Amino acid sequence: MLPILHAVQAEFGHVPAEALPQIADALNISRAEAQGVMSFYHDFRDHPAGRHVLKICRAEACQAMGSDALAEVAKVRLGVDWHGTTPNGALTLEPVFCLGLCACAPAAMLDGQVIGRVDAARVDAIATEAGA
Amino acid sequence: MRIYVPRDAAAKAVGAEAVAAAVRAEAAARGLPVELVRNGSRGMVWLEPLLEVETPAGRVAFGPVTRADVPALFDAGFGAHPKALGLTAEIPFLKKQTRLTFARVGVIDPLSLSEYEAHGGLAGLRKALALSPEAIVAEVTASGLRGRGGAGFPTGIKWKTVLGAEAPQKYVVCNADEGDSGTFADRMLMEGDPFTLIEGMAIAALAVGATRGYIYSRSEYPDANEVMAQAIVLARAAGVLGPDMLGSGRAFELELRVGAGAYVCGEETALLNSLEGKRGVVRAKPPIPALQGLFGQPTVVNNVLSLAAVPAILAEGGAAYAAHGIGRSRGTIPLQIAGNVKYGGLFETGFGITLGEIVNDIAGGTASGRPVKAVQVGGPLGAYHPQADFGLPFSYEDFAGSGGLVGHAGLVVHDDSVDMLRMARFALEFCAIESCGKCTPCRIGAVRGVEVVDRIAAGDAAAIPLLTDLCQTMKLGSLCALGGFTPYPVLSALTHFPDDFATLKEAAE
């Protein structure tokens, strides 16, 4: 089920509501079960994200290096809260709990690319480059 | 000329891709025959990107290298340069280590099976193929290896249980869902020496009579997943995996599965449910996974580091591994040093080193230069230790005895600017976000816990006994470690740093 959901999201950017009954049929499970699995995992979205997704780590090691303040900078710069997308659809801001980059904290991930030792200037550059 | 630039995610995160591209471009412009190897990380993250060059005297290192440094490094013939660090093996941080599990990480090309073998790889599997399952289990038992994921359960005993279970199909599952903050050893091993994990799982399969295995990794680790997936394909093509392991007639098939951002799936029974395509909800134990695990069949579930320790144990013998360590904590532990530290990274050493030695001598204190206030050991469910605990030897028993845990051996250092009430609140908030919802103490307790901490923050001292009472309930009543261990960071913060829980009240008065 997870490989299917990952593949659907990779193709469409989210898991469309109409995909779930088809997945349920193929796996011979109820639609409720399919919905239950999809909604359990943080990764799967039921609506499209922005053109770019910036994940900022909120876990302890990054906090020890100022990730809380960094997240505030990002929220103000983008004008969104966690899980929010800028009005022009350029960038979605998401929290993540640990990217395994704890020795080069604070860490972030932009569309699957890891970034270490992120600072306010870097967040601003990312936002500008993404058109946000 | 052979030049090494790591492909490890931590190196990439600080610019290794740009350095690698610059090396290629510079070599091409100068018409120099350069072989660029994308190795794993040596684990000295403050020196990343760490560029190495092979010389007759051994590999010499330069770091941290930026793209702009590359032309000057070529000009200097990779000799005298402000970023020169000398022979890699002589760098004190590396020299002080005992690398058994991480012996090849950062040294070899992670996807070269011939280099893997040249550096001792597959010796353990070859030995295991010549042994009976009972003899393999006996060797692992003799090594004293305990579960490196955090629970510390003796690996040999777990394997013996699975070996003794009668079933048509058995499984080996590797828990690579390394969600704990401050831990990155699983990621580094998968990115830097994936064949070690494959070999360890193949040995486990031989020991218990399993023919199928799964690695359950994280979506937060795209780089590790890419390397691991390629390594599995290569191992299968070379006959290390597949229907006829190394020509032995024994079968072992291995698959990589990737989670979807749920922390609780690092708990073994939630992981098994997730592998089965279900919600990652914790199962009640018994039955234990060793008897009824994946799809109800006997299953070995081990952490990456436990399985990756096995090839060396088989190759060198259990006694050689057990010669390291103290008390009932035998062998080596890959410490992950992170947070506010000067020298962060991976440091593998025998059990017994003290917390103070790790933080002060190896990590060099804080990056900010301010005094250390607290060290969280063992991830988000581990206790916060004050400087008074710096004499504690790093072992399962010593940390359990001090109200903490070793966990996955990650250490997160905080300087004196940290507010421990805030950290206690975060631990509960994290538990509330990540709770699978199966048991009430965790599902409801975490939410109420955040509210109670907020009351304390607002000056209500009467809420402090309520918090300790709630933590007691979560500790005793939760099904798994998420709800059961969240009280560790909360109560340790409260016990060791009571001032942080009183400031606002006093200010109010």
Interface ipTM:
0.96
Q: Which residues pair with B252 in a beta bridge?
A: B242
Mean pLDDT for A59-85 is 97
Cα–Cα distance measured from residue B389 to residue B252, given in angstroms and rounded to the nearest whole number: 45
Question: How many Å lie between the alpha carbon of B187 and the closest alpha carbon of chain A?
Answer: 7
Class of domain A52-130 (CATH, top level) = alpha beta
Nearest to B338 among A2, A37, A105 (CB): A105
Nearest to B181 among A36, A98, A104 (CB): A98
Are the beta carbons of A61 and B412 separated by less than 8 Å? yes
Residue B502 is predicted with a pLDDT of 85
Residue B326 is predicted with a pLDDT of 97
Q: Which residues of B touch A44 (CB under 8 A)?
A: 260
Residue B285 is predicted with a pLDDT of 93
Residue B504 is predicted with a pLDDT of 55
Nearest to A97 among B181, B278, B367 (CB): B181
How do residues B330-371 score in pLDDT, each as one tens digit? 999 999 999 999 999 999 999 999 999 999 999 999 999 999
HEC profile of B121-188 = CCHHHHHHHCCCHHHHHHHHHHHCCECCCCCCCEHHHHHHHHHHCCCCCCEEEEECCCCCCCCCHHHH
Are the beta carbons of A2 and B261 separated by less than 8 Å? no
How do residues B105-131 score in pLDDT, each as one tens digit? 999 999 999 999 999 999 999 999 999
Does pLDDT of B505 surpass 70? no
How do residues B424-462 score in pLDDT, each as one tens digit? 999 999 999 999 999 999 999 999 999 999 999 999 999
What pTM does this model have? 0.97
Percent of chain B with pLDDT over 90: 98
Mean pLDDT for B460-488 is 96
Give ranges for CATH 3.40.30.10 in chain A.
Answer: 52-130
One DSSP character per residue, B459-472 reads: T-TTHHHHHHHHHH
Mean pLDDT for A56-79 is 96
How do residues B126-147 score in pLDDT, each as one tens digit? 999 999 999 999 999 999 999 9
Interface membership of A105 toward B (CB under 8 Å): yes
Interface membership of A40 toward B (CB under 8 Å): yes
Q: Which residues of B25-53 are buried (b: 16+ CB within 10 A; e: fewer)?
A: ebbeeeeeeeeebbbbbbbbbbbbbbbbb
Mean pLDDT of chain B: 97
Q: What angle do CA B467, B471, B477 make, to 5 degrees?
A: 145
Confidence of residue B506 (pLDDT cuts 50, 70, 90): low
Q: Search chain B and give the residue with CA nearest A99.
A: B220
Are the beta carbons of B279 and A36 separated by less than 8 Å? yes
Are the beta carbons of A40 and B280 separated by less than 8 Å? yes
Question: How many Å lie between the alpha carbon of B279 and the closest alpha carbon of chain A?
Answer: 5
How do residues B261-304 score in pLDDT, each as one tens digit? 999 999 999 999 999 999 999 999 999 999 999 999 999 999 99
Residue B507 is predicted with a pLDDT of 55
Domains of chain B: 2-95 (3.40.30), 115-322 (3.40.50.11540), 326-415 (3.10.20.600), 420-508 (1.20.1440.230)
Q: Which residues pair with A57 in a beta bridge?
A: A96
Residue B508 is predicted with a pLDDT of 53
Name the token pair of A88: 């022009």
Q: Search chain A and give the residue with CA nearest B433.
A: A42
Which of A47, A39, A52 lies closest to A94 in space, CA to CA? Answer: A52
Q: Which residues contact A89 (CB under 8 A, 6 or more apart)?
A: A50, A51
